[in-house]
Amino acid sequence: MKQPIFLIGYMGAGKTTLGKQIAKKLGYTFLDTDAWIEEKMQLSIPEIFETYGENYFRNLEKEAIFQLPKEEIVVATGGGLPCYGNLMSTIQTLGISIYLHRPAKELAQRLSHAKANRPLIRNKSEAELLDYITSQLKVREVFYQQADIILKRESQQVADILAAIQAFEAN
C-alpha cells in the first residue's frame, strides 16, 4: 500500500505549493486541509474563525484528517493541525510526515503580503508578525520535530523531497 504523505510546518512554509508538485510526480491525489474545510463549510478560513472561532476550526481539521483516503494522497496540513487534538500522533500512524522547516524571519517575509487571508496574523505589524511567528514556532516545534522527515529550506526541492521519501521507505 502506498501510504499518505503529510506535509507539516508553519503557515507560509510552502506546503500547498510543494504538495501539488509532489502529488503530480507520484501520481497521487493532492489535498489541502484548509481547502477541504472551506469547501465543506462553504466559508473561507477567515470567515470560519470570525463566525465560529479557532476551536471550531481545529475540530474541522481533525475531521479532515479522519476522512482522508488512506493511500496515494499528499496532504498539505494547516500550520497548527499537528499541534492540536493529538493529531501529530494520528498523522504518524496514518502515513509519512514531512516537516518543511523555514526560519521565522523568512516566514514573516513570505506572510507579510498574505496577512488578510490569515486570521491569526491579520492585524499584526511587521515587527509583531515576526514576534508572533517566533513565539508560535517555539510552541509548535515540539510537534513539528516529531516528523518522520525534517527538511530545511535548502532541501525543499521536489527531487530532494522525493529522494527523502524513498530513503525513508527503504528503512
Determine the Cα angle at 110 with ends 143 and 149, to 5°: 35
171 within domain boundaries:
no
146 within domain boundaries:
yes
Domain extent for 64: 5-165
| DSSP state, residue 117 | G
65 within domain boundaries:
yes
122 within domain boundaries:
yes
Q: Which of 24-28, 53-57, 66-70, 121-125 has the lowest mean pLDDT?
A: 121-125
Across the range 66-94, mean pLDDT stands at 92
34 within domain boundaries:
yes
170 within domain boundaries:
no
Region of residue 60 (phi > 0: left; psi between -120 and 50: alpha; otherwise: beta): alpha
Better pLDDT: 46 or 87: 87
HSE (CB half, 13 Å, CA atoms) of 68?
A: 28
Q: How far apart are CA 87 and CA 61, in angstroms?
A: 9
CATH code, domain carrying 111? 3.40.50.300
Check if the beta carbon of residue 6 is closer than 8 Å to that of residue 91.
yes
* Whole-number pLDDT of residue 87: 95
Task: Give 89's pLDDT tier (boundaries 50, 70, 90).
Answer: very high
Q: Name the domain count of the chain.
A: 1
Cα dihedral across residues 45, 46, 47, 50: positive or negative: positive
* Whole-number pLDDT of residue 116: 67
Q: How far apart are CA 103 and CA 70, in angstroms?
A: 32
Amino acid at 93: T
C-alpha grid cell, residue 63: 475531521
Across the range 127-135, mean pLDDT stands at 91
Alpha helices in the chain (DSSP H): 15-26, 33-41, 45-52, 54-66, 87-94, 104-111, 126-144, 158-170
